Amino acid sequence: MVVKNFVFNDLKTKKEKNDLIEFLRYQTNVEFGGYRMFDGTRTHLMHTPEELSDLISFLKNNEKSKKRKLENFLEVGYSSGKTNTIFNKFFNFKQIIAIDDFTAEMSSTDLLVNLKRKNLTLICGDSYKTKNQKIIKKFAPFDLIFVDASHEYQNVIKDLNNYSNLLSNDGILVAHDIHSLEYPGVNKAWNEFKKINNFSFKEISFKKYFFSCGYGLVLKK
Q: What is the pLDDT of residues 44-56, one digit of tens each?
A: 888 999 999 999 9
Query: Percentage of residues in the chain with pLDDT exceeding 90?
Result: 72
Tell whether the model's pLDDT for residue 4 goes beyond 60. Answer: no
DSSP 1: -
- Cα-flanking dihedrals φ and ψ of residue 15, to 5°? -65, -45
Q: Are 53 and 23 in contact (CB under 8 A)?
A: no
Q: Are 51 and 204 in contact (CB under 8 A)?
A: yes
How remote is the C-alpha of 156 from its chain's centroid?
Answer: 14
Helix axes 14-25, 49-66, angle to 10 degrees: 140
Q: How many helices (H) and strands (E) does the chain have?
A: 7, 7
Tell whether the model's pLDDT for residue 124 goes beyond 60. Answer: yes
Q: Counting every residue, how long is the chain? A: 221
Rg (Cα) of the chain, in Å, rounded?
A: 16
Tell whether the model's pLDDT for residue 108 goes beyond 60. Answer: yes
Lowest mean pLDDT: which of 9-23, 24-38, 114-128? Answer: 9-23
C-alpha span between 90 and 52 (Å, rounded): 12
Helix axes 49-66, 82-91, angle to 10 degrees: 30
Answer yes or no: pTM beyond 0.75: yes
- Cα-flanking dihedrals φ and ψ of residue 157, to 5°? -65, -35
Sheet with 167-176, side-by-side order of all strands: 120-124, 95-100, 72-76, 142-147, 167-176, 215-219, 200-204
Residue 6's pLDDT band, with cuts at 50, 70 and 90, is: low
Identify the sign of the CA torsion 182, 165, 70, 200.
positive
Say if domain 66-219 classifies as CATH 3.40.50.150. yes
pLDDT of residue 1: 42
Tell whether the model's pLDDT for residue 93 goes beyond 50. Answer: yes
